[in-house]
């Protein structure tokens, strides 16, 4: 694995922020600067899905984003590929703001960056057979028609589907087969970045193991970098090199996988780790968080739920490096 986690600084006309990862000009990369995305609850109240975050992802590094439902994980994925516009901040790909892409640059970008969405049933056209679903990206990107069958059969083999499945409609397939079709559609253009938005959440436990092993095999066989969005730290541990911990639109902790999983520093990260199902169900810990009624607040976003809070936590902390390649937004580690 490349060493993508050394401190460095980058300056541009949008920001003079310090990035926490390496900057190799030969690598394809995403840079997200001071990004905020909110949704209106009513005329006066906003819910921030992302709040002033910085994010970096480069070729050759598999990144995991963890956090419970509503933490902003899926929003970030959609922001990265341009489905959702930011209300503040910028997304750069290879140094250029994605909002400033020409039509040809945007088309190339969409070929290089693909996304697998949460629900395979809702993501596939029920009126199209699998063969038509796999042909669609080839048509859009004007791949030579003479190459279509070769590409379809090749990707079908990689995701372990049968040729007979090509004549099936989505409702004639199992949940696992539909997820394999989604993965095949995302990979048929040979992208370099793949965003996986909770790829196991809609599947039975027995099928989840098959899909996660398939993703591992594909990763080993293809030149592709994963961004895995998940609430399951065990799955992230299996596939990823670097981890971001999200809570209510904020990044509370980030770092190399081993450091996050073996030495969690933020109280919320510890909560996530303790919430994993134990081997013995009787040992499962139960957490009860109070309902958050505040839409906008001062201080640490986790303050109302934290049992380790300090007086200074009433002021908003920032991400700081507390050990090499390990960053946390918590005053407990900054005093």
What is the distance of C-alpha 17 from the center of its chain?
22
The predicted structure's pLDDT at residue 13: 31
Tell me the angle at which helices 205-221 and 175-187 cross, rounded to the nearest 10 degrees: 20
Tens of pLDDT, residue by residue over 40-96, are 988 888 889 999 999 999 999 999 999 988 899 999 999 999 999 999 999 999 999
Distance CA 264, CA 17 (A): 25
Query: Residue 204: what pLDDT?
Result: 85
CB contact at 8 A, 29 and 93: yes
Evaluate whether 229 touches 68 at the Cβ level (below 8 Å). no
Q: What is the pLDDT of residue 294?
A: 43
pLDDT at 22 (0 to 100) = 42
Give the tens place of pLDDT for each residue, 308-322: 878 888 888 889 999
Given a contact cutoff of 8 angstroms between Cβ atoms, the answer to whether 84 and 252 are in contact is no
Q: What is the pLDDT of residue 277?
A: 64
pLDDT at 12 over 90: no
The greatest distance separating any two alpha carbons of the chain, rounded to the nearest whole angstrom, comes to: 68
The conformation of residue 120, written as its DSSP 8-state character, comes to: H
In the sheet that holds 326-328, the strands lie side by side as 113-116, 193-197, 225-230, 63-66, 242-247, 250-256, 326-328, 320-323
pLDDT tens digit string along 164-211? 999 999 999 999 999 999 999 999 999 999 999 999 887 888 889 999
In three-state secondary structure terms, 47 is strand
pLDDT digits (tens, 9 = 90+) for 144-170: 999 999 999 999 999 999 999 999 999
* Domain at 8-276+295-333: CATH code: 3.40.50.300
pLDDT higher than threshold 70 for residue 335: no
The SS3 call for residue 52 is strand
pLDDT of residue 23: 43
Helices 175-187 and 148-158: angle between axes, nearest 10 degrees: 130
Report in angstroms the alpha-carbon separations of 168 from 71, 133, 160, 173, 203.
36, 11, 15, 7, 19
- Alpha-carbon distance of 333 to 50, in angstroms, equals 23
CB 288 within 8 A of CB 304: no
Coil, helix or strand at residue 152: helix
Domain boundaries, the chain: 8-276+295-333
CA nearest to 189, candidates 131, 101, 118, 110: 110
């Amino acid at each position: 694995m490349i060493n993508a986690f050394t401190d460095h600084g980058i300056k541009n006309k949008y920001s003079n922020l310090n990035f926490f990862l390496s900057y190799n000009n030969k690598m394809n990369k995403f840079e997200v600067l001071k990004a905020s995305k909110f949704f209106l609850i009513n005329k006066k109240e906003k819910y921030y899905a992302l709040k002033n975050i910085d994010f970096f992802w480069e070729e050759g590094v598999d990144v995991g984003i963890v956090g419970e439902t509503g933490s902003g994980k899926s929003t970030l994925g959609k922001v990265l590929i341009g489905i959702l516009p930011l209300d503040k901040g910028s997304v750069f790909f290879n140094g250029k703001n994605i909002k400033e892409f020409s039509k040809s640059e945007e088309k190339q970008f969409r070929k290089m960056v693909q996304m697998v969405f949460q629900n395979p049933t809702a993501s596939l056209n029920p009126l199209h057979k699998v063969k038509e679903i796999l042909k669609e990206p080839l048509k859009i990107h004007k791949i030579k028609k003479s190459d279509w069958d070769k590409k379809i059969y090749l990707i079908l083999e990689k995701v372990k589907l049968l040729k007979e499945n090509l004549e099936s409609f989505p409702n004639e397939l199992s949940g696992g087969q539909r997820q394999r079709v989604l993965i095949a559609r995302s990979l048929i253009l040979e992208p370099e970045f793949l965003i996986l938005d909770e790829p196991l959440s809609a599947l039975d436990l027995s099928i989840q193991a098959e899909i996660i092993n398939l993703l591992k095999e594909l990763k080993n066989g293809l030149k592709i970098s994963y961004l895995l969005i998940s609430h399951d730290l065990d799955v992230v541990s299996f596939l990823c090199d670097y981890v971001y911990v999200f809570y209510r639109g904020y990044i509370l902790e980030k770092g190399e996988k081993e450091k996050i999983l073996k030495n969690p520093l933020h109280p919320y990260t510890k909560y996530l780790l303790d919430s994993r199902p134990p081997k013995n169900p009787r040992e499962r810990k139960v957490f009860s968080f109070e309902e958050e009624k505040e839409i906008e607040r001062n201080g640490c976003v986790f303050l109302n739920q934290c049992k380790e809070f300090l007086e200074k936590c009433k002021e908003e902390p920032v991400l700081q490096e507390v050990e090499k390649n390990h960053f946390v937004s918590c005053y407990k580690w900054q005093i």
